[in-house]
Structure 1
């Protein structure tokens, strides 16, 4: 290589101090040094499978010349048990590839796969060598780049890691030293060179140095595509460099520019955000289903954590399918979340441990989406307690967290807390409600259904249908009522539990009343437009769902049920929902699994066969149906409710009449006041008449 005097002058004129986030560090520092160098040594106390992507920028610069070579001393982010496993595998000559690379993650990411292709080429050509350092105590935390130039050695050292974020994005400091400029600079370069050699050669008592043994190299070479040519390699390096320029990695939550949360039909979101921030980043948001709770909470997180260099946002959801829905929304805020769907507790803890170690070296915002059960797990809480920076918790459908298993021992180390629920008050559980609000904070903002309908939710027609208990159902109802009446006055805890079980069994009778199927069959046959319909069935009796499906089959509907079986298969679930949205499936039938969280805006006709007695269920199911749909231009929805009547006026039916009347009045109060309500008003008057007689 022929160098001009000008190139040496450029090296001599480089500043001794750099702050990477304030300038293009690759262009201003690494590029001129790489152009004048033929080899480098990098000692970095940070490495994980994520670093493959982050190293792409430096690789694209440093290995652009055919003659360049490099050596990396790296320290993986591993737990103590993983370190032991790595050492054992290495001592037996086994491959340690799995400890360095998350193969599943790479296979899903074309960019990271390309980066591995480049590394494969360099290792195969013996231009790149990597050795792993494991300290016997602590961690190798150095951040040093040594370069060989024709005039001597130069060193870049400081807080910037051998990663894209460490070198180009974070507020870090880098110091540049030339060994020929002074005795002190020469001493710095020599000290770093000696330390690198001592680790590289394995001459230290305080650390293990592991080479990439034959099996590891073999795995690296076979885990990627076939061998590439010199020309293909040059193209890959150029593409990686361009990718890094065009796709700067965001390390903080950022509100998307398209999100208008302070004006229009969704201006309540901005009001909710302000209320939560004003309450010291704690509190409960009571926002109607369909009112944009998810985006509101992520705006809260973005603003609440904006001054935090490092932070972990934990989002706890009630069911596994909601993890994917939340992940899609989180990506809009410039952070790729950790998707834990299908991940066991042990693996989750390992990921959290690795994440915390990464944050010690590379401060950033990370988002982890877990289930409520994961949040309650002591091992998960224990690892989060070890995190020294800010943790924020978003509890989705937080009313479900009011159970004793959570509120009796919640994670107090989490400072920022946000509960989301359309119905935060736990019906029949004032103690659980009190503890839940004490942990997350009181309700700081309300946007009820009454306000949401007509703004961010479409209005609805309420169509009621009268059904009767048959003789067998009526007899069982009276038998259970008599048992309940005999026991309900007891203060004994066990007896109270028995009463609760009897009440559930009694409620199941009305929810699964057989005449509902007859009326449903008649009403569903009248549909002039079959698509985008939904039938909610009881989860207390599987016979009802089977009967509904049989009716639809006999009438030639294209239908599919959504139960726990379907939701446990995310590929199947996505396929079903996509088909339903475009009209290839007429009607979905479901039990409880669609009550919370699912976002299927095209639904316009719903049959509520499962007449639950809890307000929360009414709110959740109504929210499923009233969401606006830009794709279909939905202007209103239709709710069909099945009102159960007793065969007589016995006082034993008092709870049945009271429950049905309460639900009807709730829906009628929210519904469109037009002729569609006439039938419901007539049925309501009939219930009132019976109530007066008993």
Structure 2
């Protein structure tokens, strides 16, 4: 959409040779509009060249075009045609009807535009008016127009000609008017639209209207009929790195968004094609090599454990494939597949659907806030179960948040308890309060829990209940460690660099006030807190808040980014986990059992903006993007990152559970959460293998408050730090530079009299 999916300059002004190139305006609007009204003076092959970027995507979006042009070609095209025909023959102006000749000298990019125009004519989605000034030897020389989608309109006007020279080489500008900005801008949009319609509806007394029939016929005859898929692929080729590499860097950056958009559209079409094909195919394992040996072993362990199991598998080792292989084995034996898959986020709902379709499990129902029509689909499943249960196959994918709602839970509970397989992704979520309360009411006997880290931090009771539910009271049903995954080549080898970050004097003073209060609630002999209540949680949150916003993190982060840039010359494939914007809420007694934080959006934005800005200060040419819960175009962002078009992602908690980004090479952990699961998940993200990646590099900012040994809270702080050190040890000992990474901790270990072993 124009308002939300196009990046706009605050001034709404585009100027050549700067951050906001005019060519970027046209390519991005084409990719996001469904209507394009263009009132143009010169209609040249150079103009065609520029409009090619994003045009096929415009068609795919259902785009319709109205075009007002004059009947004179540019001097450049006149000269080219004369050279092609007879250099001694001179004509004063070439009419547009000679398109057959024009095609012979058009570039590949120009031919692509005419292919698109021909497609529009064939599908009756373009109207063309050809005009010339009445009673004059001059020409119509306007340069304005309007883009529109279902909701908004954007008008443009300015000095900018539609030619390669104008948009790339000259210093030209164009101003956009967005109807959502202000009443004044809305009036400007309406004025441009009214002016266009006055001419288009042949009510303009200042021009003569020429017959466009011949030009329409010649376009259709000169340019062969192409399918929309072919046009999209042509456009992707025109926007490839190699094709645009000779353009100025600012223009290349402006075209990147159009390139990402068309590639996403092509991927979507391909996914839909695969989907249509798979609906006619029997379920089977998606790879001809079949499941890996350890995935077969996981199934055998699960089957021998009364079809219950908790799979503790390192991130990146194929937990999804392993569990779906169990469902496939059920199908191979019984002729049906029935499953409910629970996931923590909507993003994972989408990812699991993709994985299920790879197995050719096709009757898929998604239950979450994004898909409110799930009820009717569940009703059809229940009806099929009543009429023909042996042939009722389906997969239901639901978020945990939807699953625990009473209405959804009751609907699911009526499904067959003996035949249906329950798969819980990131199964540690099953031990949280609201789901934990419903465990006894879950009737399904076939169960698989998946997690890289099933244990729940500071929650032994929840962990024990989780293990019992999945039939893993004594040990995991199947375990595949990160060490095994690295040794067997399923995860990438890595270098690990911990950085000790110290609090400032002011931060330390604030920290000690909280630490002394916490010490009164701490049991030194048991090495835990005497009780858990709202006051304790609020104090722990205040303590965490100080660590999150430790100002010295910025200095360390800047140094890491600078050194990497100097070493490599770029910052491609870099993930930055910024500190989370959490704060304690002293007025809120509703502390959630599993989410003991309150999100402070202003603080969150301030922090992520600060770390994003540091990247830009170190390297102004580096492309960097924030990736948060508010990001609406996540798939586009991740695709651009994987392609190297977007070099750095700064994220706040959104690249933890389940997001697959194998091309990432460098991760910087600036968020000191103290949650070992979160760090293990993040390490798993960066260790995904890729054919062009040999090693991964992890920098970990570890905040260590230096509490006086005479302080009442010293033993508590020492014990809490010991837990943090264990996490660092786990990271270090699996790394390629284990010895040197451990050495970084020597001073702090000596200060607190701790050992890493």
State the TM bucket, normalised to the shorter chain. 0.5 to 0.7
* Native 8 Å contact 1:658 1:691 kept in 2: no
* Native 8 Å contact 1:310 1:390 kept in 2: no
* Native 8 Å contact 2:641 2:647 kept in 1: yes
Q: Deviations over 1:238-290 (max 9, x none)?
A: xxxxx9xx96845864323425323xxxx322211211122121111000000
**Structure 2 CA distance, aligned partners of 1:378 and 1:627?**
38
Displacement of 1:646: 3.1
In structure 1, the residue corresponding to 2:340 is in which secondary structure?
A: strand
Query: Match of 1:439?
Result: 469
Query: Match of 1:558?
Result: 623
Judge which range, 383-392 or 595-604, deviates more: 383-392
Change in 2 beyond 3 A, CA 1:251/1:369:
farther
Out of 383, 387, 395, which is 2:424 matched to? Answer: 395
Query: Match of 1:505?
Result: 542
Out of 281, 299, 303, which is 2:307 matched to? Answer: 281
Change in 2 beyond 3 A, CA 1:429/1:474:
same
**Structure 1 CA distance, aligned partners of 2:514 and 2:478?**
42
Judge which range, 291-300 or 615-624, deviates more: 615-624
Query: Match of 1:350?
Result: 376
Displacement of 1:521: 0.8
Q: Deviations over 1:325-371 (max 9, x none)?
A: 11111001112253526546863333212222134445232111110
Q: Deviations over 1:53-80 (max 9, x none)?
A: xxxxxxxxxxxxxxxxxxxxxxxxxxxx
- The answer to whether structure 1 residue 519 and structure 2 residue 542 are counterparts is no
**Structure 1 CA distance, aligned partners of 2:338 and 2:522?**
48
Displacement of 1:663: 2.8
Where does structure 1 lack aligned partners over 5 or more consecutive residues? 1-106, 109-242
Where do residues 281-320 of structure 1 align in structure 2 (5 Å cutoff)? 281-320=307-346
* Native 8 Å contact 1:517 1:544 kept in 2: no
* Native 8 Å contact 1:603 1:625 kept in 2: yes
TM-score (norm 2): 0.54
* Native 8 Å contact 2:330 2:336 kept in 1: no
Where do residues 420-431 of structure 1 align in structure 2 (5 Å cutoff)? 420-431=450-461
Displacement of 1:667: 1.3
Displacement of 1:560: 0.9
Q: Deviations over 1:544-574 (max 9, x none)?
A: 32210111122322111111111xx3xx111
Query: Match of 2:744?
Result: 683
Query: Match of 2:395?
Result: 367
Change in 2 beyond 3 A, CA 1:489/1:540:
farther
**Structure 2 CA distance, aligned partners of 1:563 and 1:350?**
32
**Structure 1 CA distance, aligned partners of 2:529 and 2:752?**
31
Query: Match of 2:611?
Result: 548
**Structure 2 CA distance, aligned partners of 1:251 and 1:343?**
30
Judge which range, 664-673 or 282-291, deviates more: 664-673
**Structure 1 CA distance, aligned partners of 2:432 and 2:623?**
39
Where do residues 579-658 of structure 1 align in structure 2 (5 Å cutoff)? 579-630=640-691, 633-646=692-705, 649-650=708-709, 651=711, 652=713, 654-655=717-718, 657-658=721-722
**Structure 1 CA distance, aligned partners of 2:386 and 2:469?**
28
In structure 2, the residue corresponding to 1:286 is in which secondary structure?
A: strand
Change in 2 beyond 3 A, CA 1:344/1:354:
farther
Change in 2 beyond 3 A, CA 1:260/1:307:
closer
**Structure 2 CA distance, aligned partners of 1:584 and 1:337?**
36
**Structure 2 CA distance, aligned partners of 1:453 and 1:648?**
38
Judge which range, 475-484 or 462-471, deviates more: 462-471
Out of 336, 355, 379, which is 2:362 matched to? Answer: 336
Out of 572, 578, 589, which is 1:531 matched to? Answer: 572
Displacement of 1:432: 0.7
**Structure 2 CA distance, aligned partners of 1:601 and 1:492?**
40
Q: Deviations over 1:562-595 (max 9, x none)?
A: 11111xx3xx111111100000011111111211
Q: Deviations over 1:477-533 (max 9, x none)?
A: 101111112334699998633213312321232233111111111210122141110
Query: Match of 2:507?
Result: 473
Judge which range, 529-538 or 381-390, deviates more: 381-390
* Native 8 Å contact 1:473 1:509 kept in 2: yes
**Structure 1 CA distance, aligned partners of 2:532 and 2:284?**
53
Work out the number of aligned pairs and report it.
Answer: 439
Change in 2 beyond 3 A, CA 1:441/1:589:
same
Where does structure 2 lack aligned partners over 5 or more consecutive residues? 1-59, 62-272, 583-603
Q: Deviations over 1:290-336 (max 9, x none)?
A: 01000011001111343334442111110111111111110011122
In structure 1, the residue corresponding to 2:457 is in which secondary structure?
A: coil
